[in-house]
Amino acid sequence: ELKVEQNPLFLSMQEGKNYTIYCNYSTTSDRLYWYRQDPGKSLESLFVLLSNGAVKQEGRLMASLDTKARLSTLHITAAVHDLSATYFCAVDERGGGADGLTFGKGTHLIIQP
């Protein structure tokens, strides 16, 4: 059974600080997805990582993928309050959409002024 583990599950940090969210998974898939969810809202796609060593950046967020270690990271640089949300990583087990996505439990991020 595919497992996707995120840590931490809860993170409270101050504006201006840097932090990293970790996502470990148990399959050999080389596709990993990061989503953002605001309270009561839908999931917004942040990054799609498709190969080993992939790195993508958007604003203060940067995601990377190490398929050998089965690890992805989401790094937050100089956090601002607007980044407060729950962040999910997800894996596509067979890499071809055959099974839908398996999600981690999410990291609830609160950024305080």
Partner 1 sequence: DSGVTQTPKHLITATGQRVTLRCSPRSGDLSVYWYQQSLDQGLQFLIQYYNGEERAKGNILERFSAQQFPDLHSELNLSSLELGDSALYFCASSPSGSSYEQYFGPGTRLTVT
- Site residues for partner 1, window 14-73 (CB under 8 A)? 31, 33, 35, 41-45, 48, 50
Residue 105, interface with partner 1 (CB under 8 A)?
yes
Taking CB under 8 A as the binding criterion, the range among 20-28, 54-62, 71-79, 85-93 that sits at the site for partner 1 is 85-93
> In whole angstroms, how close is the CB of 75 to partner 1 at the nearest point?
21
Beta-bridge partners for 6: 23
> Do the Cβ atoms of 43 and 95 come closer than 8 Å?
no
Selected binder of partner 1 within 54, 64, 67, 92 (CB under 8 A): 92
Cα(80)–Cα(71) distance, integer angstroms: 25
Structure tokens, 76 = 């937050």
| Cβ count within 10 A of residue 82 | 10
Residue 98, interface with partner 1 (CB under 8 A)?
yes
